[in-house]
Each structure stands twice: as structure tokens, then as C-alpha cells.
Structure 1
Amino acid sequence: MSDQSRALPDRPSLRYLKLEAKRRLSAGEFATLHQAQLAIAREHGLPSWAALKEHIEAAAPASHALTQVRWIMSRFAAAGTPEWAPPGEEELRRHFDDHYLSLVPPDTLTGLLGAVAERLREDLADVRAEPLSLRARAADLRIEAATEAGPPHRLRSLRLYLLETKVKDPRVAAPATRTSGPVPEEAAAVAADSFAELGLVGLIVAGAADDGSVWVTARGWASLDDDDVLLPDHRFPAYSVTKLVTSIAVLRLVADGRVRLDEPANAYLRTIRLADDGVTVRELLSHTGGVDSPASMFADRVPDLASVTGPVAACGGPRGAFAYGNGGYALLGQLIADVTESRYEEAATRMVLEPLGMSDSWFPRSGPVTGAATGHRLTDEGMFERVPTQVSILPAAGGLWTTAADLVRFGLAWSSLLPDALVREALRPQAERDRLGGQAGLGWMLMLPKDVAGQPGAGSGFSASLIIRPGRVGQGGQTWVVLTNRTALVEPVNERLALPIA
């Protein structure tokens, strides 16, 4: 054990010293991590690792974000116990700014923080604190926060998401990275952090530079069993992101005068009818038609739609209220086919994919899919295993297979296919969808206070997310895409790109 005295740098990093302890343990200098940490503490003139941690935190610049997060932890740690009383709106407004509370109303915020109370009782770890921002961990909960620039330094952003702690598979310990285009430094950092935090096999993050050029970073493996490194051009199922392609195809028919948004969908359906004659095309696009969805979404081959829905599709849900589902979009696919007198896949390719240059995107009728990554799932033992490749039984709701670059092209240029009035209508709220300020447009899921729109997708062995910041009509916008070959919640990854915390 070293007894050499060392001086701490001007801005010591506990994270760096933790990595240094692990490096020296791996090099065989110490038998245990505890011994390595103790030696480092003593080298810096402190009697224990705990004392070193306390010294570094005290020496760090004051972090208003850290102060606010510590208030949250102390205030909500006892949530759910008989003696605990939730904070009122006035108390919350002393710690969260008005804009944040317009996005997350006080009652909703109290419920969300109360739901993670058990984790808030743990000490903070992996703390990266700046004066106005914080990134840390409490148990398996990632915490990201940012405050106002001036007093009273209330929180203007707070993001919480669960980390994956079950992964034990040694094959994912040293992921390779392959890139295409000028990947921004912050995007590369997000990909590196998220790969480990979410417990992934492969992760693709993509977007566009200011000049419109597409960049892609791919991390990990396309297939663990085959030791196949993930590449930027590997294909993935987009799942529910497909609904955006379907919505744009329908809106192109509207622009051509062949379909009217507020006409009953049955006016255009020929092969399959809706049980409710009053359901309109607009209601199908905005998930307010009450159309039933099949219980299972995946199979080895795409069946005939009538064998899934029957000749008359059931409408058992409440009409006029938002209820996200796949049945309505399956019928929109049939509407496209009936109006164009061609298969949905052919019409969507001709009307959307080809004009946008999405040459690596298509609708396979069965698996396996050429050039595609392999889906995986995590076993109870923490090991990854292959998921058999299946396709969506409803091509218009989840059947698109694509690359990250093609999805970025879609996000950047979809509006070029429509008149400005229909672009605005697609991005206009048609229905409220949750208590967090979300709305449904025509195909797009909207979060107007954050100025973003998008669509997630998840299914058998894969996940996808597309987020855009539309900008003004006719002036383009920004696009971010995340793809993984494990079913996981990837929206936090995309939010870190589209909505930076600091």
C-alpha cells in the first residue's frame, strides 16, 4: 500500500478518483476495491474514503442544483408513511419555477416524487455538480437537474429515470463504437452513458448537423451470439414510429382532395368496415376513434388484415377521448390501400419513402430481415439471449424496418410532402393525452411547452424513438433518433439530446 503523499488538484473529481481506484485494483496493486480507495484517501492526507468524499464535496463550487435536489430527497424520503404530509403548491413554488410547474402540475409532481421515495432515502452517488446543474444517482435512480441562473435558483428542470442493475453478461463489457458523419461531442457522451445505464446490447443515436448532413453513432453489438459489431447502417424495426409514415400518406391523400379529414372513414373503406359509421379520418389519426386493437402484434408473417379484424372492425373504446392504440392505424392502412387501389406497403413507399430518399426502409412481409440487427432480451440471471425475429401483423401501425439515417431524413423533410396548412394541422393539438401537458396531433405525439413532437416504438426485442423540434413551417427543424436491439425505455436518451438539462 502506497504511503506517498499527494495533493488534490484545484477542482478534485470524485468520479476520477473512483476510476483511478478501479484501475489500480485491476492492475493488481490491491486485493480489494476498499483497499485501493483507502490508499488513495491516505495519499491525499485523509484517513478514509468517506473523509475524502466529504472533503471533495466541501471543496467543490456551491451547486444550487445539488441544494435543491437534497431538499427534494429530505422532503420526500418519508412519502407514504403515516406521519408524512405532502408539500402544498406554495412550498413547491419555492423550489420549482413556474414554467416547470406548468409542465408538471403540483399534484402530479408530488405523486411522481412520492413514487420514488424509497430510492430518495439513499445517499447520492456519482455526483457531477456544477453551480446550476447536477447529474447524480440515488440507488438505481438517475437524477438530472438544472436551476434558474439567478436567485432563488429554483429548479427549472428535473429528470428521473431508472437504471438497469441486473446485467451480468460479460459480452457487453467493452462495447465498440462505429460512426458516420460529424457526431457531436455531446451525442457521443450521451450514447456512452446510456449504453451502460440502460443495460443495452446495441444502441444507435442519430441526428442532423446545422447544414442538414446526417450523423450516426452506433455502440455495441448487432448480434451477441455472432459477435457482430453494430454499424450505423444496420436496420431496425421502427414499430409505432411507422404511424407517422401512415399519417403522412393519409394527409397526402387529403392534400390531393381524395380524402377529407372530417368525413367518416367508412366513406373510403371498401374491404373492411368500422362498426361505428361515425368515426372520422381525423379521429383515427388522433387516436380518438375508439377502435379496438389486437391483443398480439407480432408473428412470423403478415396475415391478411381481415383475418385479424374480421370484415367489421370493432369500436369498443370511447369515441372522442384519446386512447393510444394500433387498431385505428390498421384501418388507416386499409383506407390508403382502398383509395389508391394498391397494397398499403406499395402506396406508403411511393407516397412517402421514395420522395424522402428513404432507400433503406421497407415493409417486410416476414423475417428474418436482410441487414438487420438481432433483437435481445435480458434473462432473470442477467444474461442476454436472442429474440426470434418477427414482423408486425399490422404494417400500417408498426411494420416499417429502417435505418437511423432514414428516420432522420423523415424527421427533417416530412413537411415538404404537404401543404403548409396541413403541416400546421398535423402539429396542432387534437386531443389531450396525459396529465403532463402532452397532446395528440395527427400522427404526432406533441409536447407543446417543450416545443417538441415525436413518436416512440417498442416491441419484440427492439425499441425506437423519433423526436423533432419542428421550427417554423417551411424553415426545417431538428431531429433526433434512438434505436436499440433490446426492449427498453429509450425516451430518456432522446430527451437528453433534444432537451439538454444544462
Structure 2
Amino acid sequence: MSDQSRAFPDRPSLRFLKLEAKRRLSAGEYTTLHQAQLAIAREHGLPSWTALKEHIEAAGPASHALTQMRWVMSRFATADAPEWTAPSEEELRQHFDDRYLALVPPDWLTGLFRTVARQLREGITDVRAEPLRLRARIADLRVEAATEAEPPHRLRQLRLYPLERKVEDQRVAAPPTHVFGAVPPEAQAVAGDSYAELGLVGLIVAGGTGDGFGWATARGWASLDRDEVLLPEHRFPAYSITKLVTATAVLRLVADGRVRLDEPANAYLHTIRLADDAVTVRELLSHTGGVDSPTAMFADRVPDLVSITGPVAACGGPRGTFTYGHGGYALLGQLIADVTAARYEDAATRMVLQPLGMRASGFPHSPPASTVAIGHRLTDEGVFEPVPASVFTMPAAGGLWSTAADLVRFGLGWPSLLPDPLAREALRPQAERDDSPGGQAGLGWGLVLPKDVAGHPGAGSGCSASLTVRPSLAGRGGQTWVVFTNRQVLVEAINERLALPIT
């Protein structure tokens, strides 16, 4: 162990010192990384690696974002204790700007911090702090924050993402990357960070603007057991993103005068009826019809819908209140079939997929076997294993299989299939969502108006997917981002980083 003292540079880099410790370990100078780090700390006159990190953090440029985050940690660290007193709205406004508190109301924000109080007590690590920005880790949470440029430097962005349990599977240690088009550097960085933080087998991130599908980056493997590298053209189950295709098909029937939004759905349903004759088409589209969701969601083959719902679909939920589920969209698929006198899959393909050039997309009745990503799950030992292949039992609610490029085409092109007023109606709030602050339900679309984005997630059976758009309704346009993973995880962090980067 060296006893030679070394002076810090003007702006010491913890990242450089970490790499130096790993270099010394690889060179055989030390038998453990801890020994190499301790040696470097002592060379700089500090007793431990922790003390070295704290010294570098203190010596770096002042970070208003780090200062505000330390206030959050201090103020909410005991928020789960019975005697804790919540901050007033006035106190919160001293640390969060008005726009942020309009997006995340004070009561909701306080409730969020209560749920992570335990983590807040464990301290902050992996700090990458700039004067106005912060990226760090608190226990099993990834933190990203940004402040106002001017005093009092209140927080204007703050995100907490859960990190996945550590992966021990060495097969994913050095993931290959394949790209299509000119991938923006920030998107490539998001893909790299997310792959590691979420513990993934494969990840595709894709996007485009009003000009059409632009780029995609694929990282990792389509199948670990087959050692099959993931490519941008691999197909994934889109799961509940399918609802956007179904909603667009229904709205095409509305545009043609064959269906009316505010008519009872039973006026068009013949094969299967709703138990409540008053539920309208609009209510089915906006998840406010109170239709029950069938419990059988995955199978080896798609069954007849009536075998799942029965000849009369139950409506046990409250009408007029947003309650997300699959039952209403299963019945919308039957409505499309009854009105067009065709199978839902054929009608949706003819009305939506084909006009948008989604040639690699479809509604298979059994799991497809070629050019598909295999779903994976993580065992208790931290090793990946494949998930048995299946299909969604209700094609109109979750049966679409697609590529990232095709979903980008859908996100950019769906307004071109509808008259402008109807496309705008699809993105108009129909009901408040109960699962996110500031969230609204459109006709199929999930809306976050303060962020100027809309979209829909999908997850199940070893895979996750997401489609996010920043709309422009002049025929075609706006921006679209698509995420596919072949491990079922929350991909909200990826969506936020792509559409609303911390700046």
C-alpha cells in the first residue's frame, strides 16, 4: 500500500479515481477493490474511501440541486413516524417552484415522500452534482433533480426511480448494441444507463418526428438461452398499447357515421351484450363504463371472447369514474367486429395497421416463433430464465405484436386517419385518472397535460412496452418515443428521460 501523499487537482473526479482503483485491481497490485480504493484514499491523506468521496463532493462546485435534495432528505426522513408534522404548502413553495407544484400537488408530494422515508434515512451516494443539476442514488432509488437558475434556486424537477434488484447473470455483463438511423446521443445515453439500472436482458428505444420513423437503438439479447442478439427489427408483445389501435378503429367508425360516441354501446353489440344498457361508447373508450375485467388474461391460444366474458358482460364498477381495465376494450373489439361484420383482428388491420404501413405488426392467435424477443424473469439467485410464451386472451385489449419502428409510425400517424376534430377529441380529457398526479384519461390515451405528453404503457408475461407522444394534430407530426424490454419492469424512468430530460 503506497504511503506517498498526492495533492487533489482543482476539480477532483471521483469517476477517475474509481477507474484508477479498478485499474490497480486488474493489474494485480491489490487483491480486492476495497484495498485499492483504501490505498488511493490514504494517498490523498484521507482515512477511507467514504471520506474521500465526501471530500470530493465538498470540494466540487456548489450544487443548489444537491442542497435542495439534502433539505428533502432531512425534512422527510421521519415522515413515516406518527409524531411527524408535514410541511405546509408555504414551506414546500420555498423549495419547489410553482410549476412543479402545479404538476405534483403538495398533498401528493408529501404522500410520496412518506412512502420513501426509510430510503431517505440511508444517505445519498453515487453523487454527480452540477450547480443546477443532480444525479445520485438514495438506497434503492435513483434520484434526478434540477433547480431554477436564479435564487432561491428552488427545485423545478425531481424524480425518484426504483432500481431493480442486482443482476448476477454474467451473460448480460457486456451487452451488444445495434442501431438504425441517427440515434440522438442523449437517447443512446438513456438506453445505456437504463439497461444497467433496470437490470435488463434486452432494451429497444426508438423515436421519430413528423417526418416519420427516425431511429432505434437495440441493446442486449432477444434470447439468452439461444444467445440471440437483440436487433431493432425484433417484435415484442405491445400488450395494452393495443388499446390505442382499438380506440383509433372505433373513432374511424365514428368518423364514417357508423357509430356514435354518446350512444349506448349495446346499440352496436350483438354477439355479446353489456349488463348495463346505459354504458356509452365514449365511456368504454375512457374506462368510465364500470365494465368488469376478466381474470384470464394469458393463454397458449386466443379463445373465443364469449368464453371469457359470457354472453352478457358484467358491469360491477361505478359508471362515470375512471377505473382502468381490459373488459371495456374487449367489448369495443366485439363492437368493431359486429359493426364491420369482420373479425376484430382483420378490421383493425384494415383500418389502422395497413394505412400506417405497420407491415410487421399483427394479432397472432398463438405466440409467434420468428424474429421475436423472448420474455425473461430474474430468479432469486439473480439469474435470468425465459418466461413461457403466451398471448393475450382479449386481442382488442392487448393482443398486438409489433416492432419499435411500427409503433413509432402509429404514434406519428394515427391523427391522419381521423378528421381533425375527432383526433382532438381523442386527446381531450374525459375523466381524471386516479393513478398519477395531473393524469387525465382521453379516448384511449393517457394524458399528462402539464407535461404536454400522451401515451400508454403495456406489460405482462416477461416484457414491458411504452408509447409516448408529444402530439401535433395537423394530419401527421409531433414526436414519438417507444420503449420495449424483454423483462417486465417499470419503464416510466425511460419515458421521462426521453420526453422530458432533466435540464
Tell me, yes or no, whether TM beats 0.5: yes
In structure 1, the partner of 2:151 is 151
1:333-372 → structure 2 map (5 Å cutoff): 333-372=333-372
Q: Which letter does structure 2 place at the counterpart of 1:410?
A: F
The answer to whether the aligner puts 1:499 opposite 2:489 as a matched pair is no
The answer to whether the aligner puts 1:248 opposite 2:248 as a matched pair is yes
Q: Which moved more, 1:191-200 or 1:164-173?
A: 164-173
Deviation string, structure 1 residues 470-494 (Cα, Å, up to 9, x no partner): 1354461011111000111011111
**Matched-pair contact (CA < 8 Å) for 1:279–1:289:** yes
In structure 2, the partner of 1:470 is 471
**Matched-pair contact (CA < 8 Å) for 2:22–2:36:** yes
Shift of residue 48, structure 1, vs aligned partner: 3.3
SS at match of 1:372: coil
Deviation string, structure 1 residues 69-110 (Cα, Å, up to 9, x no partner): 000001111112244211111111110111111111111111
In structure 2, the partner of 1:286 is 286
SS at match of 1:165: coil
**Matched-pair contact (CA < 8 Å) for 1:291–1:313:** yes
Deviation string, structure 1 residues 47-86 (Cα, Å, up to 9, x no partner): 4323322221122111111000000001111112244211
TM-score between both structures, scaled by the size of structure 1: 0.97
In structure 1, the partner of 2:429 is 429
Shift of residue 175, structure 1, vs aligned partner: 1.0
Structure 2 gap ranges (5+) = none
CA distance in 2, matches of 1:410, 1:25: 50
Shift of residue 27, structure 1, vs aligned partner: 3.3
CA distance in 1, matches of 2:125, 2:209: 34
CA distance in 2, matches of 1:421, 1:442: 13
Deviation string, structure 1 residues 251-277 (Cα, Å, up to 9, x no partner): 011111111100111111111111111
Shift of residue 439, structure 1, vs aligned partner: 0.4
In structure 2, the partner of 1:56 is 56
**Matched-pair contact (CA < 8 Å) for 2:209–2:412:** no
In structure 2, the partner of 1:317 is 317
Q: Which moved more, 1:50-59 or 1:192-201?
A: 50-59
Q: Which letter does structure 2 place at the counterpart of 1:349?
A: T
**Matched-pair contact (CA < 8 Å) for 1:322–1:432:** yes
In structure 2, the partner of 1:165 is 165
In structure 1, the partner of 2:481 is 480
In structure 1, the partner of 2:381 is 381
1:41-440 → structure 2 map (5 Å cutoff): 41-208=41-208, 211-434=211-434, 436-440=437-441
CA distance in 2, matches of 1:369, 1:91: 57
Shift of residue 211, structure 1, vs aligned partner: 4.7
In structure 1, the partner of 2:454 is 453
Shift of residue 208, structure 1, vs aligned partner: 1.5
Shift of residue 213, structure 1, vs aligned partner: 4.2
- Change in CA separation of 1:203 and 1:165 when aligned onto 2, cut-off 3 Å: same
CA distance in 2, matches of 1:101, 1:197: 28
**Matched-pair contact (CA < 8 Å) for 1:209–1:215:** no
Q: Which letter does structure 2 place at the counterpart of 1:465?
A: S
Deviation string, structure 1 residues 396-438 (Cα, Å, up to 9, x no partner): 0000000011111111111111110011100000000126110
CA distance in 1, matches of 2:121, 2:53: 19
CA distance in 2, matches of 1:265, 1:211: 37
Shift of residue 183, structure 1, vs aligned partner: 0.7
CA distance in 1, matches of 2:192, 2:16: 16
CA distance in 1, matches of 2:198, 2:319: 37
Q: Percent identity between the aligned chains? A: 78
Shift of residue 217, structure 1, vs aligned partner: 0.6
1:31-50 → structure 2 map (5 Å cutoff): 31-50=31-50
- Change in CA separation of 1:150 and 1:474 when aligned onto 2, cut-off 3 Å: farther
TM-score between both structures, scaled by the size of structure 2: 0.97
CA distance in 1, matches of 2:305, 2:411: 28
Shift of residue 299, structure 1, vs aligned partner: 0.1
- Change in CA separation of 1:415 and 1:149 when aligned onto 2, cut-off 3 Å: same
**Matched-pair contact (CA < 8 Å) for 2:213–2:408:** no
Alpha carbon RMSD of aligned pairs, Å? Answer: 1.5
**Matched-pair contact (CA < 8 Å) for 2:209–2:480:** no
Q: Which letter does structure 1 place at the counterpart of 2:232?
A: P
CA distance in 1, matches of 2:23, 2:118: 32
Deviation string, structure 1 residues 177-207 (Cα, Å, up to 9, x no partner): 1111111111111111111111111111111
